Amino acid sequence: MSPAARAHHRAAWLAAGLLALAALLLATGAGVGSTGLQSIWRALDDATARQIVLDIRLPRTLGAWLAGALLGLAGAVAQGLFRNPLADPFLLGSASGASLGVALALVLFGVSPLAASWLSALGLTGAAFLGAMAAVLLTLALARGVQHTLRLLLAGVIVGVVLGALGSLVTLLVPETLPAMQAFMLGSTGFVGWPACGLMAGALTLCLALAWALSPVLDGLTLGEATARSLGLPLAPLRLALVGVMALATGAAVAQTGLIAFVGLASPHLVRSVVKTTHGRLMLLSALTGGTLLLAADILARAWIAPQELPVGVLTAVLGGGYLLWLMHRGRGQRGAP
């Protein structure tokens, strides 16, 4: 068996393993919550218990997996697109944009009943999504397109910092919004329902399909931009499409679950530590890893101090960061940095 074929083989096994683990966790997730297993036993004859299992636990469990998968995918796209192992889904300013969107929505809620009634249709979720998209568009405008990786990267960082500061300014000027903002920043899957799952599933399907189709560009880019261009790849439109994939995946996840740290950054690294493969497979595996990671973290967040709940974003940051650090040092001991 050639090394490439062996890697493919390994990737397939990894994917199967991750899917099986996710399915197992999904089943576990249906049983974990503030009312414990009781809701499962009574689901057949008690309408409320059934509602808890079917309309609260299942969608939030699936939602955690979907959001994690979106972030994992976006992370892999970002790292491939920028050829930078530190790139994460929030690199183009979407996190700060989403925060600013939420902050503005919260302020407008308080200002006028008219705005409130208009906004309650849009919701904080809609505001976050629009904010994330606007931030990416602003980044693209400031970078004047996607031709220069470095310019795009810098514009993203600048937009992120500036919009983040504006968001803080808004909360500072209207301190009543401070706690609500904090709740958004910590990230939670507690408010995810079936419609949110549907939206995320749609976004994930679209993004995965696009990313798979565009993956040869990322493979070409690993050899450098000049080489990629000499291979005959129309870089600009393809990159724009990849930025679109990244923005959509991140925006969809952030809008539904708030800011969840580290899943997007860690997932591609975790995959690479197991198998070296092409970008198409990497993105797929990274999505599966991200989903499994966030799902596991979400179940832990629900179970750890039950019946209370930890914000899952806090948990992913601590656990994800710790695991990545361990991986890095283990890697250095054996064969240098991963």
Residues that bind other proteins (CB under 8 A): 33-35, 39, 48-49, 51-52, 55-57, 106, 109-110, 113-114, 116-117, 120, 123-125, 172-177, 179-180, 182-184, 186, 188, 190-191, 193, 195, 307-309, 311
CB of 108 to other proteins, least distance (A): 11
Q: What is the dihedral of CA 142, 84, 214, 281, to 10 degrees?
A: -150
Name which of 194 and 323 has its Cβ closer to other proteins.
Answer: 194
CB of 27 to other proteins, least distance (A): 17
Name which of 81 and 312 has its Cβ closer to other proteins.
Answer: 312
CB of 158 to other proteins, least distance (A): 26
Name which of 39 and 215 has its Cβ closer to other proteins.
Answer: 39
CB of 294 to other proteins, least distance (A): 17
Name which of 182 and 227 has its Cβ closer to other proteins.
Answer: 182
Name which of 55 and 304 has its Cβ closer to other proteins.
Answer: 55
Name which of 64 and 143 has its Cβ closer to other proteins.
Answer: 64
Tokens of 129: 């999504």
**Crossing angle for the helix pair 58-82 and 3-31, nearest 10 degrees?**
150
Name which of 117 and 334 has its Cβ closer to other proteins.
Answer: 117
Tokens of 302: 């629900």
Tokens of 124: 């904080």
**Distance (Å) of CA 241 to CA 67, 153, 207, 262, 290:** 20, 16, 10, 24, 22
Tokens of 41: 């036993």
Report d(CA 113, CA 108) in Å as an integer: 9
**Crossing angle for the helix pair 58-82 and 194-221, nearest 10 degrees?**
20
DSSP track, 176-193: GGHHHHHHHHH--STT--
- Other Cβ atoms closer than 10 A to 208: 19
Which amino acid type is present at position 9?
H
CB of 172 to other proteins, least distance (A): 5
Report d(CA 9, CA 19) in Å as an integer: 16
CB of 183 to other proteins, least distance (A): 4
CB of 167 to other proteins, least distance (A): 15
